[in-house]
Amino acid sequence: MSTQKRVLKSAGEVSGSDGLRMDAERAEQVIDALNTDLAATYVLYHQIRKHHWNVEGAEFRDLHLFLGEAAENAEEFADELAERVQALGGVPHASMSTLEAESPVEPEDEDVYDIRSSLENDLEMYGDIIETLREHVELADSLGDPATGEILRTNLLQVEEDAHHIEHYLEDDTLVTESAMQ
């Protein structure tokens, strides 16, 4: 392990991007929003993974696969957010403590819950993230950053789709009989 400790760029530092023609003042606003989205996305990722690992019951296979895909979607979105932050001259949030502290959504605790409760918690988190993403699309557009707006719009569609799938899982119709559920 290297003992070199030369900081190249401090967390919170924003230089803007000459190549992207984004001054530091506008970049800072966009970066703050993207880092918030990054933190929320990682909190969501970890909660979805938790449910992916712990799901049981008659619908295990389908839910396990869906939750795995949803976690992968969140991980890919987090990567896009972090790369955009860096491209705009900022430093993406990376430490677990910063991600949790800066996230507008709160994760479940360490306990394992029944899958209906877990999915209800996920749907609530997705809803909060959707609202924040919509606000940040408007912010990016108002600051003259259509590329960031497009990144957020594209991923918003996936976030909404995953949330909609969870809504379907939470519906009352099921192939599992009541006697099997008791």
Question: Residues 88, 31: contact at Cβ < 8 Å?
Answer: yes
Domain assignments of the chain as residue spans, ordered by start:
24-171
Question: Residues 130, 41: contact at Cβ < 8 Å?
Answer: no
- The residues with which 22 forms a beta bridge, in sequence order, are 17
What pLDDT shows up at residue 135?
98
Cα–Cα dist 135/130, whole Å: 9
CA 100 to chain centre: 12
Mean pLDDT of the chain: 90
pLDDT band at residue 18 under the 50/70/90 scheme: low
> Residue 131 burial by CB count (10 A; 0-12/13-18/19+): exposed, middle or buried?
exposed
Beta strands in 56-173 (DSSP E): none
What pLDDT shows up at residue 58?
86
What pLDDT shows up at residue 2?
59
Q: What residues contact 47, with CB distance under 8 A and at least 6 apart?
A: 107, 108, 121, 122, 125
Q: What percent of the chain has pLDDT over 90?
A: 76
pLDDT band at residue 178 under the 50/70/90 scheme: low
Scored b (16 or more CB within 10 A) or e, 4-25 reads: eeeeeeeeeebebbeeeebeee
Average pLDDT over residues 147-161: 97
What pLDDT shows up at residue 6?
75
> Residue 157 burial by CB count (10 A; 0-12/13-18/19+): exposed, middle or buried?
exposed
What pLDDT shows up at residue 22?
73
> Which H helix or E strand runs over 166?
helix 146-169
pLDDT band at residue 14 under the 50/70/90 scheme: low
Kindly report the backbone phi and psi dihedral angles of residue 2, in degrees, each rounded to the nearest multiple of 5, phi listed first. -70, 145
Which residue, among 100, 85, 143, has the nearest Cα to 109 in the 3D structure? 100
* 119: pLDDT strictly greater than 70: yes
* 162: pLDDT strictly greater than 60: yes
CATH entry 3.30.70.1140 includes domain 24-171: no
Q: What residues contact 70, with CB distance under 8 A and at least 6 apart?
A: 48, 162, 165
pTM of the model: 0.88
Give pLDDT tens digits for 40-49: 999 999 999 9
What pLDDT shows up at residue 177?
58
Question: Residues 115, 181: contact at Cβ < 8 Å?
Answer: no
